[in-house]
Structure 1
Amino acid sequence: MQKNKFLTTLSTLTLALGVASAQTTTPAAPATTAAPAKVTTFTDVPAGHWAKDAVDLIVQKGLIQGFPDGSFRGNENLTRYQAALIFYRLLQSGTLGSGSGTDTTTIANGMQEVSTELASISGRVDDLEKLTADQQTRISALETQIATLTAGSASSDTTALTARIDALETAVKNIPAGKAGPQGPAGPAGAAGTAANTTALEARLSALEARVAAQPTTTASTTTSTTTTNNTTNPSTIVIGSTGSTTPTTASNAGRLYVGANYNYSIGGNQTRGSYGAVVGSTQVIGPVGAQVSVDYEPTGGTINADLTATVHLNQGGALSPYAGVGLGLTSSKTRSTANSDVAATTGTSTDYSVGGLVGVDYRFTDSLGVYAEAQGRYYITNNGIGTGLQGNKSGFGSTAKAGLKFFF
């Protein structure tokens, strides 16, 4: 619909302008040679286009100027604001007064349809003019303030630096000459002492004078007296000697040590048991090899498992760090009632020994807090207590899965 209205408006404007031009032409006027009007060539309206003549005419009349990228965009929808702007330019050109009655009525109807937009555009233009005037007033006031501040700051800085140079010149003049050498008791007088070397100081004064000439207009707080000069904000302060580094260093073993608490689920033979445990260790003890000690307690059977494991952590310092290890363990539990029984005796405690390995992964939320999961397998060398979970008194394998929290420090 919008596209059809755009084509209708374009055709109407072209017809109206053509009729107006025909009616205002004076046949008896003498022939004159006029410079051809400049026609804007749009990138999307090539020669031979069916609407090129109409587009060229309304561009010559100043009704449409196209878009900043040099395109006409004839296939886009025409907004009511764009139509209002076209009619507004048509009114300003004074072409409507010479058109035919039918064309004038058609154009008037179109203008009536976008009268609201015409009024809005007029109001927006007035607002923009007022805003431009207000902004210009504010810019002028800011320029005045900046000029005042710049002049005052430059004067203050120059005065302070001049006072410092005067003090240096006075100090240079008061440097005494070297002492004369001692006179021998009977020999000729000793050689005169070396004269004061003022070349270096004169070079520094020349450098200071050059810096005064190129001094930027910055705000500085300077207090000058006859004996001391205190410049707290001058960026050109000269510091003699090394002030040392104040950047704290990070300990090389930060985050290596850890303690943790976990819940365990153990499988031995045809038995499954739950227990609670704790772990303490370090990710690095000798080179990349670390160590950890873990202790688990099974409340129902009164079983205690303890393991000492050597570990190797991968991706140390990262949020996710897998690890693996091998080690030795012992299990303290109640003694079997008989050699092939899984029932504990009334009294007595046995200790069983095992070797095993583990794999796990740490995930750190922060530098000091994380969670971990671990799977551990044990081969029991002895099987005298019920804590191994194995049937009878034969050696065998058991496994444990762990999950818990770790604190790094």
Structure 2
Amino acid sequence: MLIQNKVLTITSALALALGVASAQTAPAAPAAPATAAPAAPSQAVTFKDVPAGHFAKDAVDLIVQKGLILGFPDGTFRGNENLTRYQAALIFYRLLQSGTLGGGSVSGSDMTTIAAGIQEVSTELASVSTRVTDLEKLTADQQTKITALEAQIAALPTGGSSADTTALTARIDALERSVKNIPAGVAGPAGPAGPAGPAGAAASTTAVEARLSALEARVTAQPTTTTPATGTPNSGTIVIGDTGSVATTSSAAGRLYVGANYNYSIGGNQTRGSYGAVVGTTQAIGPVGAQVSVDYEPTGGTINADLTATLHLNQGGAFSPYAGLGFGLTSSKTRSTANPNVAATTGISTDYSVGGLVGVDYRFTDSLGVYAEAQGRYYITNAGIGTGLSGTSAGFGSTARAGLKFFF
């Protein structure tokens, strides 16, 4: 028969036997042996997967109160999963340590069932017992080391030398690492088909930590001494743990920028100079940035505005080339019907264009730099003289600009 089915039968017998023992009127229990199982909780543990009204809740509560099963760290009982051999061995180990079987309250048939179960997992039970013994020995060794260390500290002279303090600090550091490395408890390995064995009770380090704190306080209280070679006072303070310096990094330049520029535009056979401003970001959606530029030509009263999506390369470097695509509009005086190459006396027209640009930033600092751009436009409409094109047909124009940028 498989171990899972046998353990189910054994666990049922345990719950029945313990239930009978609990129901009987018996004299006060004798003192627990030195290797007693973990004390039963003061109140029943409630598992998330064993709600009130569950057909097995009373049995589960009983074996948990007896300390035979502790449940899983996530607060579940997992009653539908099979037990591993190590989990079964751990249950029998806690039962033997509790002394319940020695009270004579378990029937002969139940004892036969329990003995058969112990025989079935005898190998795993021996392994669990060995691990617990090793853990107890390790804890005892640590206590012995701490006691010896306290005795050495008590024997230190009042003045305390720097060499003594350094050696003591090193030993406390080593002791602290050893205490932190004490295993949490016996944990059964994962079965071939079942879940991992439950974690044993966490090793109690509260008392050890309290004694370490007292040792640190006594060392810190040592009076200040003077180093003979330099005459520099020593504070006597000992720091336990990693005291490595924390690396600091300077923040990178901001992604947003504004700029001012001078523009030189060519459209058809006309050339024009203008002044402008630009505002944008090097990263708006992922690596793609956005830029808005506005130019004003005082002579003809022309305003050019462009919205461009940009892609900056080598961001963070001194030189950062970029390219972009976008669209724009040009607001200028309407062309005369008599001569399309001159402005009419009245009327303002808005022309639309699409185009692209290439440029480069050069940063002197994280927040200040210069830039240069070359932009080409294809005017879809040509109703105003601000395009610089001859006649009223669509056509190409270009602009070169250079200026300053401020990053933040």
Task: Specify the TM-score bucket, using the shorter chain as the normaliser.
Answer: 0.3 to 0.5
Q: Rg: which structure is higher?
A: 1
